[in-house]
Amino acid sequence: MIFNSLIFVVFFAMVLFLHAMPFPWRVKKINLLIASYIFYAAWNPPFVILLWLSTVVDWFAARGLGQAEEPWKRRGWMLLSVVASLGLLCYFKYGHFLVENFAHLASLAGFRYVPPQSSIVLPIGISFYTFATMSYTLDIYLRRATPARSFLDYALFVTFFPHLVAGPIMRPTELVPQFEVPHKATPDQLRFGLVLMTLGLFEKAVLADGFLGPVVEQIYDGKAIPGFIDSWVATLAFSGQIFCDFAGYSIAAIGAALCLGFALSDNFRFPYAAVGFTDFWRRWHITLSAWLRDYVYIPLGGNRHGNVRTYFSLMATMLIGGLWHGASWTFVVWGGLHGLYLAIERMLRKQFSGYRPGRAAAAALGLLTFLLVNIAWVFFRAKTFHQAILILGGMFGRNTHAQPVLAGVYLLTTTVIIAGLVLAHCSMRNQTLEAAIARAHPAALTALWTMMAFAVVIQHGESNGFIYFQF
Amino acid sequence: MASSISSSEEIVRDTRQALPSGLRLTAADRPGMAQPVPERDIPQQPWRAMALAVTVVVLLLTSLWEWKMRTLELVPGDLGESYDRWAELRRQVDKRNVPVVIIGDSRILFDSDLDRATQLIGVRPLQLAIAGGSGLPILEDIANDPHFKGLAIVGMAETAYFDLQLTGMRPQKALALSRWESPSSRGSFFIHRVLSHGLAMLDDDYQLSTLVFRLDHNWRPGVIDRRLAIWKAQETSADGQTWLWRRLEHDRRLSERMHSVWLKFFPSQPLDEQTINSVSVRTKVAVDKIRARGGDVVFVRPPSAPDLRTIEDKHVPRARVWDAILAYTHSNGVHIDDLPAVPNLTLPEGSHLSRACATVFTDAYLRDLAGKTPLLHLQPGAPPALATPNCMRPSVADLH
């Protein structure tokens, strides 16, 4: 089930109704758990079994970890959890990719191996809930937390529908305590939750799907060789689309949880106002980058073992981050580019450690960051390296004989939306959305909320899946 | 915080004190520790009054929008080009004995009157044609479905049927949905159908973004004019009855634009022999499979305007394509040229019949086919035959 579908409106109304009933807290939690399984099963019922498997394995692994004293036993339980979680992920997400690459390597070595036709369906959101359950056992292994006392609370943490299929990637320490005591939204929490859901749906249905998606598809899924303008506009449109799609989902998820009285973590903090790539990754998909930092970068050594090890850890983390997004080498290159950006930035920061940029320099560095992020997006969106290189050729003015592809209205709408998005990010880079809203005039806020809600209503149409569902 | 899971509370509280106002910590600010319960503050605003105002104004604006859409002749109950509806119809083949299906492209889709067909042959055909789609993938699909043992009427605008690169994608998408459609998608379609009974505004061709994109008046030289994209052409009810959109029958500006779209859309260079052969072979395989189960396949070629027909005849001449495929598959068919009772039917935008003329054409082709396949019989009490004058407007008919 996706937030921008009609069935979700009915589902969510029923969940809100049940949650407002005077049932005991345990009954309400069971209601939420069942609702979350229905939410997941509405996409493909049999895959609920995977969710159960993931939940149960990590529950028992965590209990084993909690009881074990000897290091080898603890390591054994931790490995069981990691191998089971990553095993599921590898089979469903990377199985076909691994076999294809094996066949390619075999052909290079002179052997002919034809892989069998793969009919593996990628379970929706598997990367998200796998990371969530892994963080549970890893936190206990790293002695940052102790096992949850109630299986119901733990199962609800894994399955809670607002974050289940596309994050924010929650940690058990963030959510389990909320399930231990009764939570019910206050009237203002409910209303503000609805504001956030409206904002999220506006970003997703109107901006990402309605206005930016078609522009991206014309260039990235078309056959024409794009020129300078078309390549840049389509790539800028994709930078807006991916943000509005994913941040839209995150904000709607936060809003949905808030309507029920629960708090989810921030997942975006105006990333297109970032100055530098360290800053960018503190603002973009925060819960994933923090997860990778805590469970990959730091265990690999982080910055505690000299320069070479630091750069290795950085690059390895970003390559894994790239691969997490999809089983394709284009995603690996996207991750590698960001690893490279971060490494260069780190070197420059060391070289010019005393330098503090002024306003103009910070703006120029922010613009440079945005442009380089856009160049990396080409590999994220392009389906093949050939296509990526073709579009990069256009962006660097090399496709001199290209014919115009995008209609004038596409150039206009994309420019207006992206300029508005970047300006909004810049104006709010040092505050939260809530702080900005608190300062706004109620009439202006009402007008904005009305405009967004009405735009969602008249955009309607086919409910497209969220881009991040495939990851 | 009750849970022993959260062991990092103290550390986080210390860090947060250094924050500037208006900011809050995120996971990015807390490396290598268990993350605490997030805090979400509610901004101080008169939310109750604001929510009330937004509800009232959005309802008002939506009502105005709905009124505006109805003035543009959008009608409630129109399901447009919904793949979900098609998938639902396709699944009926697996559930019950379906004696007659119609497959093909938009011409046989818009030009077939299912009520008239029911009156003539006693059964209501299952309409499985897809606008902008070739009938071949659907024919192959039902040929591979052992449940189907009836008659398949294949509508053939030759360009659509043979140019699978242009027209193969839509049927594949629809077929994929008919084989697997998530409960969520089915539920959403059910609600959409209920809503569309009361709301005309739920038309995909009148989405906000589509309307904005259509404002482009050839703004960028060298780019295909946005207004020359195929736009709203059909009106579809839940049972599959589809007509040419009623507004195209009298809005000359729209129908002429649509006509010019068709003239640009159809290729004029001759179709290569290899494509003709491969499509013919695939058709014969499918036809033979259906006949082996006791079913049958017949072909229908609906009309097109003379200027469009000239282009089509260059690309796919009758002798090379229509006559050849009928001979190769040993099939019967009805070509519009062979229906003398219904010449000069009204084609408002050149490619599809007006609603009234679709009834006349359906009457003519079914009467003709009834003599050509044992699976189609005219009802004893069938209404009398129709002819072109039955669908001409009185003023036009009077002129003649």
Task: Give CA separation, B327 vs A75, B322, B330, in Å.
Answer: 74, 9, 5
pLDDT of residue A274: 95
pLDDT band at B14 (very low <50, low <70, confident <90, very high): very low
Beta bridge partners of A99: none
Q: Which two tokens stand for residue B285?
A: 């395989």
- Which residue stretches of A184-227 are H helix? 187-201, 213-220
Of B29, B48, B202, the CB nearest to A187: B48
* Residue A121 burial by Cβ neighbours in a 10 Å radius (0-12, 13-18, 19+): exposed
Q: Which two tokens stand for residue B280?
A: 């013919």
- Which residue stretches of chain B are H helix? 9-16, 47-71, 83-95, 106-110, 114-121, 136-143, 158-162, 164-167, 169-179, 183-196, 208-213, 252-265, 273-292, 306-315, 322-328, 355-370, 394-399
pLDDT of residue A42: 92
B39 touches chain A (CB under 8 A): yes
What was the ipTM of the complex prediction? 0.88
Distance, in angstroms, between A113 CA and closest chain B CA?
Answer: 29
Q: What DSSP assignment string belongs to A97-163? A: HHHHHHHHHHHHTT----PPPP-PPPPTTHHHHHHHHHHHHHHHHTTS----S-HHHHHHHHH-HHH
Q: What DSSP assignment string belongs to A43-103? A: T-GGGHHHHHHHHHHHHHHHHHHHH--SHHHHHHHHHHHHHHHHHHHIIIIIHHHHHHHHH
E strand or H helix at A330, and its extent? helix A329-351
For B53, the closest chain A residue by CA position comes to A446
For B180, the closest chain A residue by CA position comes to A44
Asked if the model's pLDDT at residue B289 lies above 60, the reply is yes
Of B35, B42, B185, the CB nearest to A173: B35
Q: Is B352 in contact with B245 (CB distance < 8 Å)?
A: no
Beta bridge partners of B242: B236
What are the chain A neighbours of B4 within 8 Å (beta carbons)?
145-146, 149
pLDDT band at B10 (very low <50, low <70, confident <90, very high): very low
In this prediction the pTM is 0.90
Indicate yes or no: CB of B57 within 8 angstroms of CB of A408. no
Indicate yes or no: CB of B215 within 8 angstroms of CB of A409. yes
CA B205 to chain centre: 12
In the block, tokens 């299912």 appear at B114
B10 touches chain A (CB under 8 A): no
B246 touches chain A (CB under 8 A): no
Indicate yes or no: CB of B24 within 8 angstroms of CB of A266. yes
Distance, in angstroms, between B143 CA and closest chain A CA?
Answer: 23
Distance, in angstroms, between B225 CA and closest chain A CA?
Answer: 7
Q: For residues A42 and A465, what is the distance between their CA atoms, to the nearest angstrom? A: 13
Indicate yes or no: CB of B188 within 8 angstroms of CB of A5. yes
Per-residue pLDDT of chain A (471 residues; tens, 9 = 90+): 888 888 999 999 999 999 999 999 999 999 999 999 999 999 889 889 989 999 999 999 999 998 888 889 999 999 999 999 999 888 888 777 888 888 888 888 887 777 776 666 778 888 899 999 999 999 999 988 889 999 999 999 999 999 998 879 999 999 999 999 999 999 999 999 999 999 999 999 999 999 999 999 999 998 899 999 999 999 999 999 999 999 999 999 999 999 999 999 999 999 999 999 999 999 999 999 999 999 999 998 888 888 888 999 999 999 999 988 888 899 999 999 999 999 999 999 888 888 888 889 999 999 999 999 999 999 999 999 999 999 999 999 998 888 999 999 999 999 999 999 999 999 998 889 999 999 999 999 999 999 999 999 999 866 555 555 555
Residues B304-322: tens digit of each pLDDT: 999 999 999 999 999 999 9
Distance, in angstroms, between B250 CA and closest chain A CA?
Answer: 26
Q: For residues A104 and A150, what is the distance between their CA atoms, to the nearest angstrom? A: 48
Q: Which two tokens stand for residue A98?
A: 């691994």
Q: Is B364 in contact with B337 (CB distance < 8 Å)?
A: no
Task: Give CA separation, A76 vs A84, A129, B54, B57, in Å.
Answer: 12, 22, 56, 60
Residues A260-319: tens digit of each pLDDT: 999 999 999 999 999 999 999 999 999 999 999 999 999 988 888 888 889 999 999 999
B54 touches chain A (CB under 8 A): yes
Q: Which two tokens stand for residue A295?
A: 């469970």
pLDDT of residue A465: 54
* C-beta atoms surrounding B294 within 10 Å: 9
In the block, tokens 């044609």 appear at B129
Residues B329-339: tens digit of each pLDDT: 999 999 999 99
pLDDT of residue A374: 97
Q: What is the CA radius of gyration of chain A?
A: 23
Instruction: Give the number of C-alpha atoms closer than 13 A to the C-alpha of residue B267, restricted to the C-beta side.
Output: 14
Active site residue A325: yes
Residues 6+ apart with CB under 8 A from B349: B233, B244, B248, B254, B255, B256, B258, B259, B262
Report helix, strand or coil for B269.
coil
